[in-house]
Copies of this chain bind each other. A is one copy, B any other.
Amino acid sequence: MRKRVNALAEQLLETLEERGYRSTSPRRAVAQAIANQDKPFTAEDLRGQLPALGRATIFRSLKLLVETGVVCRVLLEDGDLQYQLSHRGHHHHLLCVECGSSQDLLGCDIEALLQQTSASHGFELSGHWLEVYGRCRSCSVKELAAV
């Protein structure tokens, strides 16, 4: 378990190094903290977990990681934007409104549908943003058990 988490954090750092960014100890700390999150998080969450780091440093690291695509932003139902470890490339999220957990949705099959709809409005499709809200499996189970 420990091993795997570190591996994840290392991946984040490697991504930065590939782009020519230095591997610094604040960045290692941020990477590790991100790897440890189990649901979408805010910069403030990280800050609480890394009180030794400068605030700007956390924001800067986060920004780099978002730019390189290994961290993405998720839109909560209330309009709040938070961060999350990301699969690279296009994907969406199944966000549990109960426990706040997020599950990645890798295949995106709505593109064709949107293409059609867009075209019928004379609109030349170039991208989309989709978030899906509901209840995750374990929250559904819990609710059933509670009855």
Q: What residues make up the interface of A, taking CB atoms closer than 8 Å to B?
A: 73, 75, 77, 79, 81, 94, 96-97, 103, 105, 107, 109-110, 113-114, 117-118, 121-137, 140
Contacts and interface: CB of A to CB of B under 8 A. Distances in A.
Interface of A is mostly: strand
Contact of A128 (B125, B132, B136): B132
Contact of A123 (B75, B79, B81, B137): B137
Contact of A122 (B122, B123, B130, B137): B137
20 contacts: A81-B81, A94-B123, A96-B123, A103-B121, A105-B117, A105-B121, A109-B113, A109-B117, A113-B113, A114-B132, A118-B134, A122-B137, A123-B135, A123-B136, A124-B134, A124-B135, A124-B136, A127-B132, A128-B132, A128-B133
A82 B84 CA distance: 23
Contact of A126 (B79, B127, B130, B133): B133
A143 B131 CA distance: 31
A137 to B, nearest CB: 3
Given A81-B79, A129-B75, A122 B140 contact: yes
A16 to B, nearest CB: 21
Nearest to A133: B127
Contacts of A105: 117, 121
A96 to B, nearest CB: 8
